[in-house]
Amino acid sequence: MNDPEKKVNNGNPEFADSVFGLSADDIVKEKRRKSPLDFLLDHMRTVVLIVCGAVLIWSFQYIVKSLIHYRKANDSYGQIGDIIKGDGGADIMLPSAVSPASPDYNSCKKLSQDDLDSIIKPTPVDPEYERIKNKLYSFKEQYPDLYGWIILENTKINYPIMQTDNNEYYLRHGYDGKSLMSGSIFADYRCEKKLTDNRNLILYGHHMSTSSLGSMFQSLDNYLDENFFRNNNEIKIYTLDGAYTYKVFSVYVTDKYYPYITTYFPDEDSFVSFAERIAANSVHKADFKVGAGDSILTLSTCNNRSEDGRLAVHAVLVKDSK
């Protein structure tokens, strides 16, 4: 066979020595100049890394901030959760007597026993409501925007109801006026102060993604379950005017543009039409009807499936104790 080294040596010995003395490190590869596309791709990679880093930092801050707010809400509402709930008691009868300090005391002494019996009549008093009313008075002295109190059994809904002259403030403030992501349960500013003067009393509350005491109206999701809808359909509301019981007849998912928060009805026919419409919307059908002469309670919260989504729960007033 021919020896390539011998052929090279027969030519130029110096060249041969330089060729056979080369190593891989001695061979310099010419760098390819970057094209505009390469610069663009490098720039895009840098931007993506910066954006991903920013999103990661923002997400971490959001999670921490949310946990802090949930803790604040849990602490805030945990302090007042037992204010309304307590041991009940049977109704008692207290006499409406006239004290010696009253201007009518002397005139009363001149009356016969039959006259006194006709004037001094026993007055029925619900000791449980009197206890609650005293608590509400004390609470309202501290927080003048108090409207009432709402309780739904077998849920975490046990909150004060606030009301002011707009529907924005209590979205981001607790009952104590402090900034709070969970906000408060609050009545629509258009609603009358006296509960029974409303044909449609509207209450709003956030749908917080937490199981804590500050979850607000999250528990309304339970009404989408038919078993819960039929077995937990009483809503209690307490105000300084009385204790009221509502019975749920409709629940459905809608959006903020649907007119389910109507407060004004020009006549009874318009109210009946409204009641029939919202009853027909329900995912579960109630075994009773709402009609002329009734009063409705509407609970509204966000539906997290869409930005404009809403969950509406409607109940009719079935009992009031004043």
Number of domains in the chain: 1
Compute the radius of gyration of the chain from its Cα atoms.
37
- In angstroms, the CA 283 to CA 198 distance is 25
Closest CA to 271 of 299, 251, 250, 294: 294
pLDDT of residue 98: 38
pLDDT of residue 99: 38
DSSP state of 34: P
Report yes or no on 33 lying in a domain: no
Centre a 10 Å sphere on the Cβ of residue 216 and count the other Cβ atoms it contains: 25
Centre a 10 Å sphere on the Cβ of residue 221 and count the other Cβ atoms it contains: 18
Contact yes or no for 250/313 (Cβ under 8 A):
yes
Least confident of 12-21, 133-142, 170-179: 12-21
pLDDT of residue 77: 81
pLDDT of residue 32: 67
pLDDT of residue 88: 39
Per-position DSSP letters for 140-207, written without gaps between them: HHH-TTEEEEEEETTSS-EEEEE--SSSSGGGSB-TTS-B-TT--EEE-TTS-SSGGG-SEEEEE--B
DSSP E strand boundaries for 31-163: 92-95, 122-125, 146-152, 158-162
Instruction: With H, G, I as helix, E, B as strand and everything else as coil, classify residue 259.
Output: coil
Q: What range defines the domain where residue 264 resides?
A: 112-321
Q: What average pLDDT does the chain have?
A: 80
| 16 pLDDT more than 80 | no
- Per-residue pLDDT of 139-151, as tens digits, reads 999 999 999 999 9
Report yes or no on 259 lying in a domain: yes
Q: Which residues pair with 152 in a beta bridge?
A: 235
Which domain CATH number covers 195?
2.40.260.10
- Per-residue pLDDT of 245-303, as tens digits, reads 999 999 999 999 999 999 999 999 999 999 999 999 999 999 999 999 999 999 999 98
- In angstroms, the CA 178 to CA 75 distance is 13
Report yes or no on 47 lying in a domain: no
**pLDDT > 90: percent of the chain:** 53
Report yes or no on 46 lying in a domain: no
Answer with the residue of higher pLDDT: 305 or 65.
Answer: 305
Report yes or no on 305 lying in a domain: yes
- In angstroms, the CA 195 to CA 189 distance is 13
- In angstroms, the CA 121 to CA 192 distance is 33
Report yes or no on 168 lying in a domain: yes
- Per-residue pLDDT of 75-116, as tens digits, reads 668 778 777 765 433 333 333 333 334 444 444 445 555 554
Report yes or no on 69 lying in a domain: no
pLDDT of residue 133: 94
Residue type, 277: R
Report yes or no on 197 lying in a domain: yes
Both tokens assigned to 27: 């061979």
Confidence of residue 178 (pLDDT cuts 50, 70, 90): very high
Both tokens assigned to 72: 């604040």
Q: Please list, in sequence order, all residues whose beta carbon lies within 8 angstroms of the beta carbon of residue 291, skipping any fewer than 6 positions away.
A: 272, 275, 276
Tokens 């008692």, located at residue:
92
